[in-house]
Amino acid sequence: MIDLNSNENVLFDLRNAPPNVSSKIEPPNISVDVVSQPDNSFVEPNYQYYKSPAEIEKDNIQMAASVGGKLTIMTFVSIFVVAIVVMVVGFIAGIMRDTPSAETLYLGFTPMGYYCYDALALSIPLFFSSMIMMSSSKKKFKMKTEDFVPFDYVNPKKLLTIVICGMSVCMIAQYLGTLMSISYSLIGFDIDEATELHFGPTKFDFFMNAFCIAVLPAFFEELAYRGVVLGVLKKFDNTLAIFGSSYLFAMLHGNISQIPFAFTLGVMFAFLRIKTNSMLPGMILHFGNNFISVIIMHLSENVSYDSSSYFESAFVILTIALAIVCFYKISKSDKEFFKINVGNSRLTFGEKIKVFFSSASIIISTLILIIETITMLSFV
């Protein structure tokens, strides 16, 4: 006798059943996740949607991209706030000294005011934005501090070779930036005029400019973009980490004439960060590139334009000559050095780039750059 009301699984073999039974008895409709309740009511089946590995990878890349976008947005907003505060303080100070002027409004009425502004306006916002995003990323992506700011040992000879090669790339990138500025000026946009820096003649002026322009960016910008941003993106793809961190690094400069230059250097710094698993090569090169620029500008404004041109030409020729030897040496000693391990991925690089740019924070940070550029052009 078969009890059709029983909750037990019943196996029907209708092949051996009499004809009159097979026409009358039907197997019960048993479905997974349907629970019989005492009051004869039923809970709806729990259908779960499972994402494909490619969809999961897209979600991870978008979350990683949002880290860099949010960091850049926080930095932009903080810089704007600092600029407003400095302008208000400078305006009040100018009124008190009865010398309100454009220089007073923006720079703070003394050379020291300018140096303090230049040091604080970018470095402090970058530092706190980096710390906030690093802290949140540790929990979200299960990362440690050394994943963001690694300092693995690099052989001193290899480090010197890398730095010489890197400085040659910096010099080439400098010329690319100069050509970009010239091309803009030919169509009537002298962007460099809006961001021109003036160097004082004293040793104090030189060292303060070197500190603000070379030392601070070499630490804080590397911490933000080769540390936090690249560290998160690197978990999912090395090439995307290089491109994404370099793109946001270029956006940070907020000047379309500097974007090709900053992006080129960003790619090199990011490449070295991945190949050496150390922040040190990028920091040294970042400092070296900016410090050479400080020397050239100081000579140009306080000695003579010819002396700065001679120094720059001699340095470029010497650096490129040594770099050729160093490139050959690296390629012979480590044939895998110039190759990037892309790992296993279900997405093409193009698909990853699309996902990266689909992040809301990346879109917003790009729009901020466009607005800033339009604003800058309106003052030229």
Would 288 be classed as within a structural domain? Answer: yes
Count the domains in the chain.
1
| Summary mean pLDDT of the chain | 80
Q: What is the mean pLDDT of residues 310-328?
A: 91
| Alpha carbon distance 230, 238 (integer Å) | 9
pLDDT digits (tens, 9 = 90+) for 126-184: 999 999 999 999 989 999 999 999 999 999 999 999 999 999 999 888 877 777 777 76
**354, part of any domain:** yes
| Predicted TM-score (pTM) above 0.95 | no
Confidence (pLDDT) at 24: 47
- In the predicted structure, residue 43 carries a pLDDT above the cut 70: no
With beta carbons less than 8 A apart as the criterion, state whether 352 and 240 touch: yes
Q: What is the DSSP string of 335-355?
A: TTTT-------SS-HHHHHHH
pLDDT at 10 over 50: no
In a domain, 279, yes or no: yes
Average pLDDT value for residue range 69-78? 92
pLDDT for 98 equals: 58
What are the tokens at 190? 């002298």
Q: What is the pLDDT of residue 309?
A: 84
For the cut 60, the answer to whether the pLDDT of residue 16 exceeds it is no
Query: What's residue 13's pLDDT?
Result: 47
Please compute the mean of the pLDDT values over residues 9-32 and round it to a whole number. Answer: 48
Residue 49 buriedness (CB in 10 A; 0-12 / 13-18 / 19+): exposed
Residue 133 in any domain: the answer is no
pLDDT at 14 over 80: no
pLDDT of residue 84: 81
Gap between the Cα atoms of 290 and 285, Å rounded: 8
* Per-residue confidence (pLDDT) for residue 173, from 0 to 100: 86
Residue 237 belongs to domain spanning: 146-378
pLDDT for res 218 = 94
Q: Is residue 362 part of a domain?
A: yes
User: Is 97 or 335 the better-scoring residue by pLDDT?
Assistant: 335
Query: Does a structural domain hold residue 305?
Result: yes
> Is residue 43, in this structure, part of any structural domain at all?
no
User: Does residue 303 register a pLDDT over 60?
Assistant: yes
> If you average pLDDT over residues 70-91, what whole number do you get?
83
The mean per-residue pLDDT over the stretch 303-322 comes to 86
Q: Calculate what percentage of the chain has a pLDDT beyond 70.
A: 74
- Residue identified by tokens 């008190």 is 96
d(CA 163, CA 286) in angstroms, rounded, equals 10
Amino acid at 149: V
Structure tokens at 337: 């050095």
Q: Is residue 29 part of a domain?
A: no
Give the dihedral sign, CA 159/164/165/166.
positive
